[in-house]
Amino acid sequence: MASRQETQFNGKDLNSKITNLLLGLFIPSFQDTKNKEIRTKYGYLEGWTSVFTNTLLFALKFFFGLLINSISLIADAFHTLADILTSIVVLIGFKIAKKPADTEHPYGHGRFETVATLIIAILLLIAGFEFLKSSLDRYVHVKAVRGSILVVAVMLFSALAKEWLARFSVDLGKRIDSLVLIADAWHHRSDAIASLLVAAAIVAAFFGYYRVDAVFGMIVSVLIIYTGIELGKTSVSFLMGKAPSQDLVAEIEEIARSVDGVISTHKVVVHDYGGKKAVSLHIQVDKTLNVDKSHAISAGVKYKIAQQLEDTSVEVHIEPWEEDREE
């Protein structure tokens, strides 16, 4: 059975086919996702695609929001504007993250991608609370909202465009294992949902239910706030040293145990610095082995893990193995 990444590259679904087409146009050798330069170009492609698309959508929404005096549409327009700002943050994040290691940052600058995610979360929270305040005011002081089938069509087009951007960002994010791209994808998806709600509010206005606009404005605001909180929690968890996935731990242990002389492994610790990982683990070997042989086994484990997990530094602690005690 093909792996997830192979399926993505082979383009078995429409979304992957479109992604592969754009990658082929703008990133030669795009399949080499372990290459740092290629990885950075993925981030740039997502960022600039988002900036272009969101600029167009913001202009459309803001124009029609002023035209029909809709707070929910104007709020949604600025939600889209926030997407432009967050995409710029994504671009800056990838630019800084690709900087090489230095004396102050011996493991590189890869975690700045997560810092960029946290910035996105903060921007979302600020925007969400501002629009919630405006929507509450509009609910108390009701104003007429004008609408048309054309505006509804614009919002439906926006929802489709943003959902495509979300899927595009998720696809790219999974291919290069990037938290910030997946975070940006959720930002796009929240905007797609918001656009659908605004379209519904405009339809309600046709029948004189003007408060629906304010109610949906509040729903959009809460959606923005929720997205910001979730992104903030995810990024803070990573920066605080989130535990590695069980799959990664199992892979490290499997690699270590494949080295001749390793009887058992435990206490696997992984520090993720974005583009680089620092791994430490304990291996158990025959207690009758001399220091030279034990050291050779340890060196073999370090070499094999570093070879199979790119950009990974490895520290190995050796312990004597006893049948009645594996740890």
Lowest mean pLDDT among 74-78, 299-303, 305-309: 74-78
Q: Enter the tokens of residue 175.
A: 């291919």
Q: Give Cα separations from 171 to 176, 177, 278 (angstroms).
A: 9, 10, 26
Q: Which pLDDT score is estimated for 323?
A: 64
CA 61, 64, 65: angle at the middle one, nearest 5?
A: 75
Q: Which residues contact 66 (CB under 8 A, 6 or more apart)?
A: 74
Residue 83 has pLDDT above 80, yes or no: no
Rg (Cα) of the chain, in Å, rounded? 25
Q: Which of 220, 198, 203, 201 is nearest to 82 (CA)?
A: 220
Backbone angles phi, psi at 34, to 5 degrees: -80, -15
Residue 302 has pLDDT above 80, yes or no: yes
Q: Which pLDDT score is estimated for 140?
A: 85
Tell me the pLDDT band of 165, cut-offs 50, 70 and 90.
very high
Lowest mean pLDDT among 60-64, 182-186, 256-260: 182-186
Tell me the C-alpha distance between 50 and 90, whole Å: 10
Residue 57 has pLDDT above 50, yes or no: yes
42 & 175 share domain: yes
> Which stretches does DSSP call E strand in 170-298?
264-272, 277-286
In a domain, 326, yes or no: no
Only one residue has tokens 């070997």, namely: 285
Only one residue has tokens 């994040």, namely: 93
287 & 234 share domain: no
Tell me the C-alpha distance between 19 and 154, whole Å: 24
Q: Which pLDDT score is estimated for 210?
A: 75
- Mean pLDDT (whole number) for 44-53: 92
Q: Which pLDDT score is estimated for 48?
A: 93
- Mean pLDDT (whole number) for 180-196: 80
- Kind of pairing between the strands at 312-321 and 277-286: parallel
37 & 131 share domain: yes
Residue 176 has pLDDT above 60, yes or no: yes
Residue 320 has pLDDT above 80, yes or no: yes
232 & 250 share domain: no
> What is residue 141's three-state secondary structure?
coil
Global confidence as pTM? 0.66
150 & 260 share domain: no
CA 18, 80, 154: angle at the middle one, nearest 5?
A: 75
CA 77 to chain centre: 22
Q: Which residues contact 326 (CB under 8 A, 6 or more apart)?
A: 264, 266, 284
14-26 vs 36-68: helix crossing angle, rounded to 10: 110
170 & 314 share domain: no
Only one residue has tokens 């609910």, namely: 139
259 & 220 share domain: no
Backbone angles phi, psi at 265, to 5 degrees: -140, 150
In a domain, 22, yes or no: yes
Q: Which pLDDT score is estimated for 7?
A: 42
Tell me the C-alpha distance between 179 and 247, whole Å: 17
Residue 324 has pLDDT above 60, yes or no: no
Tell me the C-alpha distance between 33 and 38, whole Å: 6
Q: Give Cα separations from 89 to 47, 95, 277, 312 (angstroms).
A: 8, 10, 23, 27
In a domain, 116, yes or no: yes
222 & 275 share domain: no
76 & 47 share domain: yes
127 & 195 share domain: yes
More confident residue, 75 or 258: 258
Tell me the pLDDT band of 6, cut-offs 50, 70 and 90.
very low
Q: Which pLDDT score is estimated for 45?
A: 92
Q: What is the 3-state composition of the chain as percent helix, strand, coil, each rounded to the nearest 5?
A: 70, 10, 20
| Contact present, 137 and 122 (Cβ < 8 Å) | no
Mean pLDDT for the chain overall: 80
- Domain termination site, one of 196, 212, 239: 239
Tell me the pLDDT band of 243, cut-offs 50, 70 and 90.
confident
More confident residue, 106 or 135: 135
List the domain range (segments joined by +) for residue 185: 4-239
CATH code where residue 111 lies: 1.20.1510.10
Residue 11 has pLDDT above 50, yes or no: no
144: left (phi over 0), alpha (psi -120 to 50) or beta: beta
CATH code where residue 316 lies: 3.30.70.1350
223 & 291 share domain: no
Q: Enter the tokens of residue 136.
A: 């509450």
In a domain, 327, yes or no: no
- Domain termination site, one of 190, 222, 239: 239
| 79 exposure class (CB count in 10 Å sphere: 0-12, 13-18, 19+) | buried
- Mean pLDDT (whole number) for 177-196: 80
Q: Which pLDDT score is estimated for 144?
A: 67
Q: How many domains are there within the chain?
A: 2
In a domain, 263, yes or no: yes
Q: Which residues contact 62 (CB under 8 A, 6 or more apart)?
A: 74, 77, 78, 81
- Mean pLDDT (whole number) for 229-234: 84
Lowest mean pLDDT among 10-19, 30-39, 181-190: 10-19
Tell me the pLDDT band of 3, cut-offs 50, 70 and 90.
very low
